Amino acid sequence: MNFFNRFKGLFKFRSRDKNRTAQSAIPFRLNFLLWIVGLLLLALAVRLFYLQVMNGASYKAEVKRSDTTTQTNNVQRGMIYDSNGKVLVGNQATQAITYTKGQNVDSDDLYKIANRLGKYLTVPTTKLTTRNQQDYYLADNSHLKAVLKHVKSSSSSAQYDDAIAYLNKHPHYFKLTKDQKNKAMIYATMSGAYSLSTTYIKSKNVSAKELAEVSEHLSDMPGVKIGTAWTRNYPQGKDIQSLVGTVSTSGLPSDSVNTLLSQGYSRNDNVGQSYLEKQYQATLAGSKSQTQVTTSGNNVTKSKVVYPGKKGDNLVLTINSKFQKDVQKILKQNFPAGSNSTGVYAVVMNPYTGAIYAMGGIDRDPSTGKTTTDEIGAINHPIVMGSVVKPATIMAGLMEKVITPTNNTLTDMPIKVAGTSAKTSWFNKTGSANMSLNAASALEVSSNSYMMQVLMKIGGMNYHSGAQLTLKPSIFTKMRYYYKMFGLGQKTGIDLPGEVAGYTGASGKKNIGSALDLSYGNYDGYTTIQLAQYMSTIANGGYRMKPYIVKEIRGTKSNGELGNITYTAKPQVQQVIPAPKSYFELVRKGLYQVTHGTSSYTTAKSLSSVTPSISAKTGTAETFYKKQSTETLSFAGYAPSSNPQVVVALAISNASGGSSNLTMAKEIFQAYWKDVQSSKSTE
């Protein structure tokens, strides 16, 4: 009993002690909790201070940015003028149907708008793709659900791609009517637009009925508007289009879309896609207008023009439009009919500045006889030119000092080297007309033999009839070095895209016999613009001038006329030929004799009566078209002979003989003095 009571007393003592301990623990836990709450409140206060006080302005701007966006619209493209201020490429305003995509517009919204607009507007569907049709078909949720019943997708994100794949495998599953295709094209155009960017749904041939009906239902089609589109027109004729280029009409060209996107263009922007329109895209495009648009959901609540945009600057060319037309007409009228010729190209150039007065061209399909204007072919069609390059060979001989202005007489004779057939001048096929020629008379009668002998001397070979051809392949490099010095065989740098360097024949040891052909222009191929630059270098005494076609860039006055000049082209010397004046005088003497010589073999005597006087070199190259023997007829010359003001270069590829090159050259010179510069001013 005593033991029990003692135990019970002990138990009560410990219970009282436990209760006392529990009661003392409650305030500690409460205090700890209060400290945690206090710290959290302090952290919250610090965070609020950071957000509202320290960075409040930036976050307000972020909220404003999410509600306010800048909408851009295209402006009128800059125009292109000739050297006298005549419009070559202008802009024609047309009424258009446009669409500006809202910020939160989804495919369902686009589908509904496209279907409504398609009731009143008919658009061309030639560029409608199969994928465009599939996207339009699946934009109808009932169609999408029906197709998805036939596919098993690994995830919801893959369902649409799987639906497209199913339609590709089962093209018979859907077939759009003509009306549906029209709406599908509208839907595709709308889908390609960026948020708050404006795209043209139809910019050409919008009928009065379409304008009226669309205008009447604009409230039912958010984003659709009546706007203005600008299309290119050509007041002086469309022939110039092959030189100035074209502008895309349905957004960025597919071959350069990624590059243009990286430059800040939108997919639906129309840009220059060839030649001058492409080369000067940034200049001609101008800067888009900017409108600050405030939106709420899909609705625009406020808009304010913050920048009205700036029309593109204008190009003023060195081209004289009247002369350009006349050159093209001369080429067409004198083009050899019924031949295998693949084309004719001409360039008229100022020898002292590099300014291009005219650039003409015709491309011809010999199998059909069809011809098309191809002015740009003068810079991208290399042609084996023939004897017109012989003055450059004479200059190479002089600069290598294998001939001199006072010691340059050689005998024209058939060139016979061991193991090859004889190579001869056109007037001395058998050797019966062997004669002594100096450099000038060799140009006058166009001696192949003289040029081959000069090349062999440059190559260190002592020629005699039947000798082994000991030339080394390095002779190709040496001769081309001199030709390039004058502009033959390399790009001229003209301000047009697409220029080519020419054609270079094989230059190995097994081709060494062709080095002889190279000396008189029957091996490598050059462009007509190179021919013009080369002859200009001879005409001006040794300055290789860079050709150019854009004379000025100018703004626009408020009345639409040409405004202030922002850029003026300056003549650029690409190279000064390191040769004394006496070398050029010798060559120019020969070029004068080509047209005014007294030999029975003088090659261009028919030009002797033309005034002002012409100095020139003609060319005939042996060529082939589909295994048929043909000839290239070329010409490069300047006038007046004593004070060169203009250079004319032309080439007729794969012709069938004749003298149409001389006829063309004569008429082009005459047209120049009539259209561009009075011949009296040169006297």
Coil vs helix vs strand at 203:
coil
- Whole-number Cα distances in Å, 516 to 350, 479, 634: 32, 11, 20
Parallel, antiparallel, or unpaired: how do β-strands 80-81 and 314-317 relate?
A: parallel
Q: At what angle do helices 159-169 and 130-138 cross, to 10 degrees?
A: 130
| Secondary structure E strands in 76-168 | 80-81, 87-100
Q: What angle do CA 148, 150, 152 make, to 5 degrees?
A: 75
Residues 390, 627: contact at Cβ < 8 Å?
A: no
Per the document, the length of the chain is: 683
- Whole-number Cα distances in Å, 21 to 11, 30, 35, 380: 15, 15, 22, 102
Q: Which residues contact 449 (CB under 8 A, 6 or more apart)?
A: 410, 411, 412, 413, 414, 415, 423, 424, 425, 428
CA quadruple 145, 149, 154, 159: dihedral sign: negative
Give 625's Cβ-side CA count (13 Å radius). Answer: 19
Q: Could you check whether the bond before residue 612 is cis, i.e. omega within 30 degrees of 0?
A: yes
Please list the active-site residues. 387
Residues 486, 617: contact at Cβ < 8 Å?
A: no
Residues 619, 521: contact at Cβ < 8 Å?
A: yes
Q: How far from chain centre, in Å, is Cα 259?
A: 13
